[in-house]
Structure 1
């Protein structure tokens, strides 16, 4: 899909990745923690989050992926179901992140409400855990993709044909394109 994505700097240029062209940087709208890069789709409730987290020492890679999924569920104020469907290894050869010591893909669902509404939406979570052990960092990349929007939710708006929803392919492109330019990012 030539022309639909572009290489964008992350963390002040210390990293970069290919994001969908219509990805809006949330830091242009509100404050975002220094360890996160957050992008939203202009017409859906989809979001892409790249975050630098503490390396989860002493647990297997799949367990670390589940740990981060549960942490995201808590951050999303997931009041109901948060279930993992699969946790699978990602081939390191497909990634541009050379310092990655392990990579895992997790797919799950979370039942979340927006703005403390009663209406609950089912969100598919595509998550990738890229482990950077030598820098004591877990790089977590999350694609939040609403799968079932409650009609009473403020998220219940029609999607524009001008800006089609992101796909798992867009998420995969982002994952495979993440590059580290400055290891000083890790301190």
Structure 2
């Protein structure tokens, strides 16, 4: 069972529980001011918190928020958007945020375009669990991305078939991490959105 610890983000302005086995990447290398990045010390999974400018016009609703989700996903994967398959998208409720704050989560996979010489070091695919929190008044979108590279020999290929609903251990763990974030994520200092 995974052990979690309360983790301050952006100088304590935000807080949530993260797995204890995840390390703060900013202690190893420079991370942009609008990001917090954590990586599994025992694996390849990473969790990224990104405070970005809100995408789309004010107002909202499912259609507008869906377009914003697509825009953020396209920005994340860049030119490789044609290698991405979205498996599902759902509305998400954060336990400690006001019920009126819209949030959505999608699960997608990205299969790299690489030739066979590069294939040895590239993952077979990377699963993405992307959660978008829309803060209209603050003109901010918060993106929480869990990247789960699946590298040959590091996972049981027979256990993963998203078309059949088989997530495998790595994606299953990432879904658990996401659910823990949804239940513990809190905004302690709303002024952070004016600073970043």
Range of TM-score over shorter length: 0.7 to 0.9
Instruction: Please report how far the alpha carbon of residue 87 of structure 1 lies from its aligned counterpart in structure 2 after TM superposition.
Output: 1.6
1:88-167 alignment runs, 5 A limit: 88-91=90-93, 94-98=94-98, 101-112=101-112, 118-119=118-119, 120-121=122-123, 122-147=125-150, 149-150=151-152, 166-167=173-174
* 3-state SS of 1:60 partner: helix
Does the 8 Å CA contact 1:100/1:131 hold for their aligned counterparts? no
Distance 1:113-1:32 versus aligned 2 partners, 3 A rule: farther
Extract unaligned runs of 5+ from structure 1.
158-163
TM-score (norm 1): 0.80
Matched, 1:10 2:9: yes
Deviation at 1:113, TM superposition (A): 7.6
The yes-or-no answer on 1:175 pairing with 2:172 is no
- Write the deviation string for residues 101-151 of structure 1: whole angstroms up to 9, x where unpaired: 21111111112489xx8224201101110111110000000111123x246
Give the drift of 1:45: 1.0
Aligned length, in residue pairs: 169
Residue 100 of structure 1 and its aligned partner are, at CA, apart by 6.1
Pairwise CA RMSD: 2.6
Secondary structure of the residue aligned to 1:135 is coil
**Taking structure 1 as reference, are residues 100 and 185 closer, same or farther at Cα in structure 2, changes over 3 Å only?**
farther
Q: Deviations over 1:38-83 (max 9, x none)?
A: 0000121100001101101237111211111111111xx6486112
Residues 74 and 81, structure 2, Cα contact 8 Å, conserved in 1: no
Distance 1:31 1:178, change over 3 A: same
The structure with more helix, counted as a fraction of residues: 2
2:53 maps to which residue? 54
Q: Structure 2-normalised TM-score? A: 0.77
Instruction: Tell me if the contact between 2:129 and 2:174 (Cα under 8 Å) persists in the aligned partners.
Output: no
Consecutive aligned runs of 4 or more in structure 1 exceeding 6 Å deviation: none
Say if 1:22 and 1:133 are closer, same or farther in 2 by CA, change over 3 A: same
